[in-house]
Structure 1
């Protein structure tokens, strides 16, 4: 019954916001188009369709808000107006009761609250769709007296999520069957992707491990602060970490009043992003303003503070090499190579014509290269590329979707901080250095060092392995040796002929020069 009531409520919200007109308009059955016109009678649908969709998702609750946030990253699937509107979704969720929060912490840690914390602020400082955060001070252990932030998972989230995701899957199946664009939009794959993100965020131990990895990677960069995780108090539904004090990144006037160098802050943000992506292949993939602060502590003044590590992106060596070659080709305006890389990687069907894909990519990118660098929007280039990708049925890789989404966030935030920010010139020296490290002699030496222990194990075994091979296959080896010797004799004759011919030519040249000089003398 609960599923029936929930389905009825979703249908009512959809009709109230005119989503039937938004969805049914792409359906191929005539009676569904007729139904669209009938249900639209007497309703005010003056608002843009993207705004109506965003407001409906906010009305349906935190799970649908999260779904809209994930959907906003798939600009390869959505029209730009809807993607832009969904990007405005924020986790505006009322907090749950402090009694539930305290009970969750005590159950997770197996101790009374007073035994772990000397103080615990029962009023949450932040509340989102998955968890809320309380400030506290540790009482016991080596970190006694430390100010901490305690993140507590919302109660009974898993069954709520599972029910709503099941409903989304059912709707996705119908959309795929009935909609003209159903197969291209891949609604079931999008729901599966959303399900994975949500369940990753439900495991706070996973978030703590993500934070610890980023903290190690960023140590020594002196541009970003990541809270320390206190593992003795971390569980899958409770997370205790170092309390960070800073100003939210979107409070620009407050930052200026405190003397923060805003243009430098914008450049540092780009450096942090490219370092995490291209050096480490492990990056914070949820870098919206709610998760970024700026330190005003005199010891770390002006440094970024990263929070909320539920969603991170990873890149394999193959991904990074692919990106290196693409960036190199883009900088050289070698659009044919970009097209070939898309085909070689399997992103587009093998039968795709290289010249057609090259022409489409050139049409997207060429107008931007003729502008001043500060006027180039990488976000706009990506959006145009996504639109082009539909025509060629490009399969956007999940790991790069997070990269693209984070790049859009970084560029938008950077231009808010500094409208004169030149993303290309800021990133290009870093990328050129990184690409040289990826394909240059330094990379070769690194790989040789990494493989050296394996080589050290194999080298002593080589004589025995060769002996065993020769013993087990004497006839084949003799035949191969005879063929090699025959080929070697032929090669030697050719080399001797070339050498003697060269010597004869040189000798003739010397003699002729001597004769010429004698005559001149």
Structure 2
């Protein structure tokens, strides 16, 4: 039963939807709100010019009127292009999270309470006029006592209670949609609400944002492609984040970039490379990479670079998904449609009973029209979106982290094409991804991973004989049932012997690989040849012992 206290808020939301004629957007929402249309005359006069607006623009204006938390919800919804029409997703992606600032005196008081010291003790100067203001926090300029310029991000007073109240309202709306919307099984409104809750919870912890900035900075501390401001941890808490102040222009400010004399073509190529390095090399990527959060350092003309800001939304992938995605991208670059189809099934994104020939034909149908264009006109992000939409016909199970990646790819391509409309994203991305995969799955890196995991294997090694003995004993019990056919008894005995032989060889192979790892790790100079011999012998033992299907 929905709490009565939420009724006024729900009525306000419905009134705004009626005013912006969002009960007529189609897709089933008109049928969902039909019982409440008698309220339309009481909803107020529609805004001027609304008759000529498309439904996406009306949705964006309604979200803006409903307030900051609904703006956040709209921003999250814009990433779910697998669930909502493209025109609405495009419109919601333009939502700006900007609200009037709260008084600077309150910001100063919050900083003093969080840092447990007077502002004058932490900073030599603190500007009470906000540099920027959003629904969750606002930013103030300050100076450390050693003269370094910083920015101080401060959570809004009472924001936790307001978010809890609005999240309850959004969840109530999600429950209504789940119950009454005819396409609820496809839209999954409660899943979207869960994503909004998770994002807001992350943004309420500025110490978490600082940790994300610190990791991204460490990943790119060497190189000239991306600069991440330093976190000043001594002046950072859950409610206050102090960062090095950086200077630049928005990545879509073409006039300022040209005035600085920066090579936009070179800069655009760096932007594409940065995406693939973050995702496939580091497995940690900026997931809110719109131009407002990606600046260009105009002081670096000869070697241009980007500056990253706002680390509240970061993404990462499970190691398995990372591998399957990389292989899918490579197959896409090489137009290997059969490989794409088999990878989707091997990754577990689709049921094993899917007919690969039908899936391959569907992938080819989507991709071939794109390859008739010049490569510079092909959008990888657009193609990936259409592939996901096509794959849904084959019961694709799409995880939220893949949606976040898809949205980031759209943002990065948008930045790249704004800087250089003629950029050949395929030519830039393909060699970068192949290089990253070659390094990631090289023999040296594999040995490094084995050496890293060796202590854990040694810790569990004493248990292996007991586990093998228990496995063989259980297998033996299964063959002692009465069987009428003697030939079947002999066959089962043969299978049991094969299983024991396979287990023995695989166990031997594992022991040899552990020995090889230890030899290489403890004596890297003198243990090279013994380690190599042990590693080869271990692999051969695995090959011999690996169970084979009986013909």
Match for residue 82 of structure 2?
Answer: 76
- Structure 2 CA distance for aligned equivalents of residues 243 and 29 of structure 1: 49
Change (3 A) 1:174 1:27: farther
Deviation at 1:63, TM superposition (A): 0.7
Match for residue 436 of structure 1?
Answer: 438
Match for residue 196 of structure 1?
Answer: 198
- Structure 2 CA distance for aligned equivalents of residues 346 and 458 of structure 1: 29
Deviation at 1:447, TM superposition (A): 2.7
Match for residue 501 of structure 1?
Answer: none
* Structure 1 contact 150–239 (Cα < 8 Å) conserved: yes
- Structure 2 CA distance for aligned equivalents of residues 327 and 225 of structure 1: 27
Residue 132 in 1 paired to residue 138 in 2? yes
SS at match of 2:280: helix
- Structure 1 CA distance for aligned equivalents of residues 394 and 432 of structure 2: 31
Deviation at 1:385, TM superposition (A): 2.1
- Structure 2 CA distance for aligned equivalents of residues 377 and 412 of structure 1: 9
Deviation at 1:455, TM superposition (A): 5.6
Q: 2:306 aligns with which of 290, 304, 311?
A: 304
Match for residue 488 of structure 2?
Answer: none
Query: After superposition, what is the alpha-carbon deviation per residue over 1:374-428, rounded to whole angstroms, capped at 9, x for unaligned?
Result: 0101122123224323433322211111111111000011000000111110011
What is the correspondence of 1:283-294 to structure 2 with a 5 Å cutoff?
A: 283-294=285-296
Residue 16 in 1 paired to residue 19 in 2? yes
SS at match of 1:407: helix
Residue 387 in 1 paired to residue 393 in 2? no
Query: After superposition, what is the alpha-carbon deviation per residue over 1:415-471, rounded to whole angstroms, capped at 9, x for unaligned?
Result: 000001111100110111122234443443333333344466678x69x959x979x
Deviation at 1:358, TM superposition (A): 2.1
Match for residue 48 of structure 1?
Answer: 54
* Structure 1 contact 136–150 (Cα < 8 Å) conserved: yes
Query: After superposition, what is the alpha-carbon deviation per residue over 1:448-498, rounded to whole angstroms, capped at 9, x for unaligned?
Result: 333344466678x69x959x979x99xx9xx99x969xx9xxxxxxxxxxx
- Structure 2 CA distance for aligned equivalents of residues 22 and 135 of structure 1: 44
* Structure 2 contact 137–153 (Cα < 8 Å) conserved: yes
Change (3 A) 1:249 1:483: closer
SS at match of 1:355: helix
SS at match of 1:45: helix
Match for residue 218 of structure 1?
Answer: 220
Tell which deviates more after alignment, 291-300 or 203-212: 291-300
SS at match of 2:435: helix
- Structure 2 CA distance for aligned equivalents of residues 170 and 429 of structure 1: 48
* Structure 2 contact 10–173 (Cα < 8 Å) conserved: no
Q: 2:108 aligns with which of 79, 85, 102?
A: 102
What is the correspondence of 1:179-258 to structure 2 with a 5 Å cutoff?
A: 179-258=181-260
Change (3 A) 1:171 1:136: same
Match for residue 527 of structure 2?
Answer: none
Match for residue 354 of structure 2?
Answer: 352
Instruction: Count the aligned residue pairs.
Output: 472
- Structure 1 CA distance for aligned equivalents of residues 469 and 53 of structure 2: 77
Match for residue 517 of structure 1?
Answer: none
- Structure 1 CA distance for aligned equivalents of residues 101 and 43 of structure 2: 36
Match for residue 343 of structure 1?
Answer: 345
Match for residue 148 of structure 1?
Answer: 150
* Structure 2 contact 289–408 (Cα < 8 Å) conserved: yes
Tell which deviates more after alignment, 157-166 or 390-399: 390-399
Change (3 A) 1:483 1:166: closer
Deviation at 1:136, TM superposition (A): 0.4
If the length of structure 2 is used for normalisation, what is the TM-score?
0.79
Deviation at 1:99, TM superposition (A): 1.4
Residue 403 in 1 paired to residue 405 in 2? yes
Change (3 A) 1:210 1:30: closer
- Structure 1 CA distance for aligned equivalents of residues 300 and 90 of structure 2: 38
What is the correspondence of 1:254-269 to structure 2 with a 5 Å cutoff?
A: 254-269=256-271
Tell which deviates more after alignment, 344-353 or 25-34: 25-34
Deviation at 1:3, TM superposition (A): 3.7
- Structure 2 CA distance for aligned equivalents of residues 330 and 362 of structure 1: 10
If the length of structure 1 is used for normalisation, what is the TM-score?
0.83
* Structure 1 contact 25–33 (Cα < 8 Å) conserved: no
Tell which deviates more after alignment, 385-394 or 149-158: 385-394
What is the correspondence of 1:345-494 to structure 2 with a 5 Å cutoff?
A: 345-454=347-456
Deviation at 1:39, TM superposition (A): 9.5
* Structure 2 contact 137–154 (Cα < 8 Å) conserved: yes
* Structure 1 contact 119–136 (Cα < 8 Å) conserved: yes
* Structure 2 contact 235–242 (Cα < 8 Å) conserved: yes
* Structure 2 contact 15–43 (Cα < 8 Å) conserved: no
SS at match of 2:296: strand
Tell which deviates more after alignment, 438-447 or 87-96: 438-447
SS at match of 1:290: coil
Match for residue 170 of structure 2?
Answer: 168
Deviation at 1:27, TM superposition (A): 5.8
- Structure 2 CA distance for aligned equivalents of residues 29 and 225 of structure 1: 48
Deviation at 1:181, TM superposition (A): 0.9
- Structure 2 CA distance for aligned equivalents of residues 309 and 81 of structure 1: 27
* Structure 1 contact 295–301 (Cα < 8 Å) conserved: no
- Structure 2 CA distance for aligned equivalents of residues 39 and 22 of structure 1: 20
Q: Which runs of 5+ in 2 are unaligned?
A: 477-492, 502-551
Q: Which runs of 5+ in 1 are unaligned?
A: 488-521
Match for residue 483 of structure 2?
Answer: none
* Structure 1 contact 293–306 (Cα < 8 Å) conserved: yes
SS at match of 2:25: helix
Kindly name which structure, 1 or 2, has the bigger radius of gyration based on alpha carbons.
1
Deviation at 1:224, TM superposition (A): 0.9
